[in-house]
Chains A and B, each alone.
Chain A
Amino acid sequence: MINHRGLHSPRRGLTFEVLRAVPIVYLPRLFFFCACSLALPLLQIRFLLLFSRQGRVRLQKWFTALSEHEKKKVVREMSLAVLTRPPKACNFLQWKDLKVVYRRYASLYFCCGLEQRDNELLTLEIIHRYVELLDQYFGNVCELDIIFNFEKAYFILDEFIIGGEIQETSKMCVAKSMEEADANQEVGHTHTHTQHIQGLSRGETW
């Protein structure tokens, strides 16, 4: 498990951390950005973005080939478009030629970009399923988990979605394969994982 404490900014105050440590699934809306773009105009998720209310990207998964510059542009415009939406608004947007489905969970926005022919309601379910998987893996997941264990979040995503399509519809299977994969990891890394969990539980009692 990789320890990212070194990257944690010392400027962040206590209250901010407490806010961020609130478990995600307890709060009704988490912003989940999934956007999937493919050059070919067929059914697919194009990209999946997670970002915080301040616009910091926590996870980005691109299923099409875009240049770095374009990716940044998309991220910036997406965050602007979604962060300005009122809270009770519809979860669907039209952005350029893509449909964007987003959901807010606690302090994170999960955002998905879809082709024109995709089923938006199903994408909402996909987003929810991903959050459930994260929750199952991390136990009461919160934004801090995703920040500190981003590679785990990616691995879970890779077990759930490949190439923009779902590969496994059963929660138990995904969880099982993650466990097995983690067991395969060499011993040195699992040690830091437990360390991290202890650190998190300390954080939660604040």
Chain B
Amino acid sequence: FRQSDNGARTHNLAKLLYVHMLGYPAHFGQMECVRLIASPRYSEKRIGYLGAMMLLDEKQDASLLITNSIKNDLSHSSQHVQSLALCTLACMGSAEMCRDLAPEIERLLGASDSYIKKKAILCAVHIVRKIPELGELYTPLACSLLSEKNHGVLHSAVVLITELCERNPDTLRQFRKTVPELVHIMKGLIMSGYSPEHNVAGISDPFLQVRILRLLRILGRCNDAASDAMNDLLAQVATNTDSSKTAGSAVLYETVLTVMDIRSESGLRVLAVNILGRFLLNNDRNIRYISMTSLQKIVQTDHTAVQRHRGTIVDCLKDQDASVKRRALELSLALVSATNIRTMMKELLVFLSTCPPELRAHTASGIFIAAERYAPSQRWHIDTILHVLITAGGDVRDETVPNLIKLITTASELHCYTVLKLYRALITDISQQSLVQVACWCIGEYGDLLLKGECDDIEPMQLTEDDVLDALETVLQSHMSSPASRAFALTATMKLSTRITNNVDRIRSIVSIYGSCIDVELQQRAVEYNALFKKYDHMRAAVLERMPVIDKSSPGDTLGDLTGEVTKDSSMSKPVPGGSTLPLEPASQAFDLLDLLGQTDTVPEASHAESAAAPDPAGPSTGRDLLDLLGGLETTVVPSVTVYEKGGVSLKLQCDSQTETAVTLTFTACNSTQNDITKFTLQAAVPKSIQLQMKAPSGSVLPAGGHSAITQTVVLSNPSKTNLKMRVRLSYSNQGMVCQDTVQIDSFPSPAWT
């Protein structure tokens, strides 16, 4: 590059670009690009601009250097040079460049040559995307552009109008007037005969058609008049378009999306759903995927219409393709209802056993939600959950276990049935942790029912106590069991000591072995249970009684840290290893604890409190949790400081969180005057060592009488930990008068929690 040999410069730069494409660093070519762009020769400009688009982007500083070249080239005599400049600007123009060159683009929009016009329009689109305010500059011209004949210009014009309408609701209202014109253009496209220039597989210019449909969608949204004007057209497009090729399907798809979005009449909606149904039966996977995606969007509103296609959707679950399967799964889950729950669940369970691993967790949770909502009977519900646990126990979420346990305790007549089934599942396979945990819990609770061995609904099994204890010991000793499962098994073994009569010694020996286990949780429990045997034997029966039915409405059942494992030994206060002193006093103390927790329902940590209030807190491990909960149950009132109050407008400051180097603050502005205050804005300034980032405010209008407030979040990052100081300027307009005020904030409120 250092050589100034003109002929080779383009070659060298091109070679550099190729190297760059292969992935090697090429930033030293940026200056060369700038130089080539400035050269008068067209071929050099071409390569220079290409290099600029590849190597420079708006984040690089060097991009500003080409602004001037672009400006000059925009007024060049040759339209090809102009087009190069426009293309580059549209591709990588930064906000500053756009701002500088916006008037030039406006001038070009009025140019007569369609080649330049279409490029200028797309450039304008880019500018509007970067700087929405400049949209006002182009709005007047955009209307007139719709009367162009050239498809390229027309297409770009539609894009520009779409962009303007999406950014600004006022412009949207303005452009609603153009709906008849758009309808006319569209009709022309559909009705026109074969035009070799624009034809794609029998459809006349599908790109333009899709674009116009999209614009119509935006214009017709939430507006009855515009929607009415489009109804005929949409019906015509829907019926006349040939969908055997992708182009036609693309147009139909866009039509369907438009019909769904605007206020269309019901006949049209039915037509659209039928089109989607037709797509579903299509052999082409892409089209099936598309139709399922769109059906997903409308399943909430047009539920019955989509139900008609349920059979096809469920068939798609068996498709080979992973994307199609995913869509079919989501749609199937959305289509489950009280009437079809049994058949759907069968299909879903089959799917679960064959589905790819990444979809398993989603399927399992979907099945659970559906089962919970529509379960026809409790037994069916339990069966379904068991089936899921057996097939995909590893992929279910953690709260499934306590949920299932809750369900089981409520279905009291099914205890025998449930425990037999779980026992059978346990002895076949102990690798699914959630299943193991539930099974252990049930065996512990209902071990006597298990040993009785009789049950109506299921074939009886003759079990001895040894069999049951063997099963539990296998779980305890298996390397596949997680610590949580082991804990479940240990406690279950303990509970069985009251349910069975012969092998109490065996239980005692198991428990004492684990007294020296490495896992602290297990050891702790084993020690406690040992103590239960030795010192408090008289209370053992009472302690290990059946659990009460868990209150189903308690939210967020995190009963202690080991998922739902609680025993009724609150009557003893065991010594807490870890030092917190729960006095070794009889039940009254612990019950006080319970009462205290029971009454703190209203506090945000209520979920912990409630679930602990129903069954008694498990031993010191959860006792410790309770103490922590108590520690966290302080009032969470966030202090806020009023920093400005004048003329009825007040500004409060509240500190949301504070870390070592960053503080998040929220400003809340309130208006207690009689009049609405508009255009309320906040500006803030901080010392140089602090960085300020203001998020978007929630609004700019403060209604009168303090009904609602505007909030704005500000993040200050303070790496050098200097004293925080801030100056805030408010400006607002009240009854036409613009007011501005500045306030300095030197002291910040402490955060709600440290």
Residues of chain A having any CB pair with chain B under 8 Å: 2, 4, 6-7, 38, 40, 42-43, 56-63, 65-68, 72, 86, 88-94, 119-122, 124-126, 128-129, 150-151, 154-155, 158, 162-163, 165-173, 177, 180-181, 184-186, 188-189
Contacts and interface: CB of A to CB of B under 8 A. Distances in A.
B438 to A, nearest CB: 34
B367 interface: no
B78 interface: yes
Nearest to A174: B152
Counting from the closest, the 5 A-B pairs by CB-CB distance are: A121-B250, A163-B90, A168-B152, A122-B250, A90-B285
B321 to A, nearest CB: 5
B250 to A, nearest CB: 4
Contacts of A158: 87, 91
9 contacts: A38-B129, A88-B321, A122-B210, A150-B18, A163-B91, A168-B152, A170-B198, A172-B197, A185-B42
B328 to A, nearest CB: 12
Interface in B536-551: none
Contact of B14 (A65, A86, A151): A151
Contacts of A125: 200, 206-207, 246-247, 250
A73 to B, nearest CB: 12
Contacts of A166: 155, 207
A88 B322 CA distance: 11
Contacts of A120: 286, 290
B21 A59 contact: yes
B11 A155 contact: no
Interface string B303-329: 000000000000000001111101000
A95 B93 CA distance: 27
Contact of B197 (A43, A62, A88, A170): A170
A150 B18 CA distance: 8
Contact of B57 (A62, A121, A129, A184): A62
A126 B207 contact: yes
Given A121-B250, A150-B18, A94 B210 contact: no
B129 A42 contact: yes
A124 B210 CA distance: 13
B214 A43 contact: yes
B272 interface: no
B15 interface: yes
A94 B200 contact: no
B286 A167 contact: no
Nearest to A93: B323
A164 to B, nearest CB: 8
Contacts of B118: 167-168
Given A7-B18, A63-B91, 12 more contacts: A65-B57, A121-B250, A122-B207, A125-B207, A155-B46, A162-B119, A169-B155, A169-B205, A177-B115, A185-B42, A185-B43, A186-B43
A98 B271 CA distance: 29
Contacts of A186: 41-43
Contacts of B7: 188
A37 B116 CA distance: 25
Interface stretch (B120-128, B344-352, B507-515, B629-637): B120-128
B286 A91 contact: yes
Given A121-B249, A124-B286, A163-B90, A40 B129 contact: yes
Interface stretch (B158-166, B583-591, B684-692): B158-166
A85 to B, nearest CB: 8
B23 interface: yes
A28 to B, nearest CB: 13
B43 A89 contact: no
A122 B254 contact: yes
A86 B249 CA distance: 24
B253 A119 contact: yes
B126 A163 contact: yes
Contact of B323 (A42, A67, A92): A92
B149 interface: no
A151 B33 CA distance: 14
A119 B217 CA distance: 13
Contact of B10 (A2, A94, A168, A170): A2
Contacts of A185: 42-43, 46
Given A90-B321, A154-B50, A119 B155 contact: no
A56 B22 contact: yes
A90 B123 contact: no
A151 B50 contact: yes
Contacts of B381: none
A88 B320 contact: yes
Nearest to B58: A65
Interface string B186-217: 00000000000110100001111010001000
A40 B126 CA distance: 11
B289 interface: yes
Interface string B144-171: 0000000110011001001100100000
B451 interface: no
B492 interface: no
A190 to B, nearest CB: 10
A65 B50 contact: no
B214 A121 contact: no
A65 B59 CA distance: 7
B195 to A, nearest CB: 9
Given A169-B207, A184-B78, A185-B43, A119 B254 contact: yes
B86 interface: yes
A171 to B, nearest CB: 7
Given A170-B198, A184-B42, A89 B322 contact: yes
Contact of A165 (B115, B125, B197): B125
B375 interface: no
A103 to B, nearest CB: 10
A22 B47 CA distance: 28
B487 interface: no
Contacts of A91: 285-286
A120 B253 CA distance: 9
A155 B10 CA distance: 15
Given A90-B324, A92-B323, A165 B253 contact: no
A154 B25 CA distance: 20
B23 A57 contact: yes
